[in-house]
Structure 1
């Protein structure tokens, strides 16, 4: 007989003895209103009552072929196993925990689990007795209460309390790790006129539309909330001023190009956005919101439908040059200069456009934004190649034909990258390799240097 079969027989003998020695226990086990189970020290179900079967939608025979590990939610399994080991080692006499089972129908079942360990006469662990109480309804109620106190009733995004709680936590974390953040204050332009002209129901539709567009324009890790009235705020995590400005303008233009229909009218609206960019400090959220609000006021003063950035380093409006993605930033160097001002300016612009693309992808911006950046890069490459070829022809560069062939190959590759990225067939690594190795190192640094003596003014 195998050791496993022998252990099963031992378990069965122990359980049969328990049933026969204590009829009261057996009846309590079988007819309990809550789930009851005997579980082997290896996790196998040895005996289960009907209440537990009803809870997880498995028959008794199906459960006896499984272990508790098989139906425990993966996120709860480590904690459960840790308790089991601590009981077997003698550290704990019993344990209780809330956990989740995954039923046969794939429904998540929340339970409160209480576990005791049964020993034989030699004090060797025999099996666990588990009491399993269904708490799914109370969990649903708990989640609903959490949602009610943290969600804006109208727009279904975070409310003021949610935004302040989560943003304050992220500011503390960013301060510890010296990470960049961008805080946006968003206000609907002339919202009072919309309410006065079309009614508050229409105003509510405009607010809901804005919340939806904001949510679709940011990542799941970013924090969005309605602070009150027509004011919304977004905290962009791990985001420098350049990427933050891209996101803010994307939200602004998406609102500008959208419309709602109410009472037979097509209604368009715009928003103004104030943004403050900062990196890892200990200023409270209230201070940062005031700075973003100052930038918002400036956007309103400048004609609305604008994004204004408050730069804390000089307490004025402008662009902060610190970049989160500097570790892969393509850096222009003086040694790359050919001596021809047109070529050098275009080369430097290619570096800038390439960095904008890389930063957009690293920031996890929507695919449409990255596609626009790739299209801009392709256009810059095409225009540069055309101008450079004209200059090389005018100075009689002897290797012009080979150089034009290289341009054609690179332009074709750039277009292919655009198509591949659009279809999801390429990655950030492939794009960076193309820019850093093919375009910059192999072409600009190695190949272009061959014509420097011909084009220097």
Structure 2
């Protein structure tokens, strides 16, 4: 019967279409599940790597013998380690909310703050200077200072990281040795080395510079 044949054919096509649609839906769901599982696994790997990286940084930050400080681009001190706190003779890890720009010193090299401004503008990645700081008790702390720029994932400047080595004792020793080399041990008066050093400096002062000399034995 042609009508019966067409009916059976239609039912067969419908069943095949339903089966194909079901198989396609099951495959899509399986792929989505696989993608979700892969994403979760990737997130887990990233989280583990981030945790391990943070743990390594924390170990270095807390155990380092040199001073380490983190500040924002406005110079607000966010965090310092114990070594830096010992250098400054303080107990407050936030340094009393101070800003890095407050730590000026008359003996700062002229280019120190120019380098600082270039760094916070993102024009340089790091700089290294010898810099003096005032401690809360009024004494002077001399350091070898390295400041690096920290950027976010998009490359935008975000923080600055300072590494400080205390060179105060070394500097005082060098000054003492220099004083002993240029002054008489008994009288404390400048010796011949000091005289010739100053004379050479005066002679090299440049054209148009005049000076007087009086030599007494």
Q: TM-score, normalised by structure 2?
A: 0.69
Query: How big is each residue's C-alpha offset from its partner over 1:98-122, in whole Å with a ceiling of 9 and x where there is no partner?
Result: 1111101111011111111110112
- Counterpart contact for 2:128–2:147, Cα < 8 Å: yes
Match of 2:207 among 173, 176, 179: 176
Query: Residue 62 of structure 1: CA displacement?
Result: 5.3
**Structure 2 residue 68 is matched with structure 1 residue 36:** yes
- Aligned partner (choices 118, 121, 127) of residue 95 of structure 1: 127
Residue aligning to 1:341 = none
Work out which of the residue numbers 187, 199, 203 in structure 2 matches 1:155.
187
Q: What is the Cα deviation at residue 57 of structure 1?
A: 1.7
C-alpha displacement at 1:89, in angstroms? 4.2
- Determine whether 1:58 maps to 2:96: no
Q: Which has the greater radius of gyration?
A: 2
- Which consecutive unaligned segments of at least 5 residues does structure 2 have? 1-49
| Higher fraction of helix | 1
- Counterpart CA distance in 1 for 2:59 and 2:96 is 20
8 Å CA contact 1:69, 1:77 repeated in 2: no
1:120 and 1:103, CA in 2 relative to 1: closer, same or farther beyond 3 A?
same
Q: Which of 112, 131, 134 is 1:80 aligned to?
A: 112
Report which structure shows greater RCO (CA 8 Å, sep ≥6). Answer: 2
Count the aligned residue pairs.
168
Mark the CA change 1:64 to 1:24 in structure 2 (over 3 Å): closer, same or farther: farther
Task: Supply the distance in 1 between the matched residues of 2:102 and 2:120 (Cα, whole angstroms).
Answer: 20
User: What is the CA RMSD across the aligned residues, in angstroms?
Assistant: 2.3
Cα deviation 1:321-356 (Å, max 9, x = unaligned)? xxxxxxxxxxxxxxxxxxxxxxxxxxxxxxxxxxxx
Please give the secondary structure, in 2, of the residue aligned with 1:131: strand
Q: Contact 2:104 / 2:133 at 8 angstroms: preserved in 1? A: yes
For residues 149 and 179 of structure 1, what CA distance do their matches in structure 2 show? 28
Q: Unaligned regions of 5+ residues in structure 1, if any?
A: 1-17, 186-230, 232-457
Q: 2:131–2:145: 8 Å Cα contact kept in structure 1? A: yes
CA shift digits 1:141-161 (9 cap, x unpaired): 211221122112122121101
Please state if 1:108 is matched with 2:158.
Answer: no
Does the CA contact (< 8 Å) of 1:19 and 1:26 recur in 2?
A: no
- Contact kept in structure 2, 1:35 and 1:50, CA below 8 Å: yes
State the Cα distance separating 1:34 from its structure 2 match: 1.3
Deviations along 1:76-130, one digit per CA (max 9) or x if unpaired, are: 1753321122223444321111111110111101111111111011211111111
Q: Deviations over 1:233-270 (max 9, x none)?
A: xxxxxxxxxxxxxxxxxxxxxxxxxxxxxxxxxxxxxx
CA distance in 2, matches of 1:45, 1:68: 7
1:128 aligned partner: 160
- 8 Å Cα contact 1:73-1:101 kept in structure 2: yes
Call closer, same or farther: CA 1:62–1:121 in 2, change over 3 Å.
closer
C-alpha spacing 1:28/1:180, structure 2 compared with 1 (3 Å)? closer
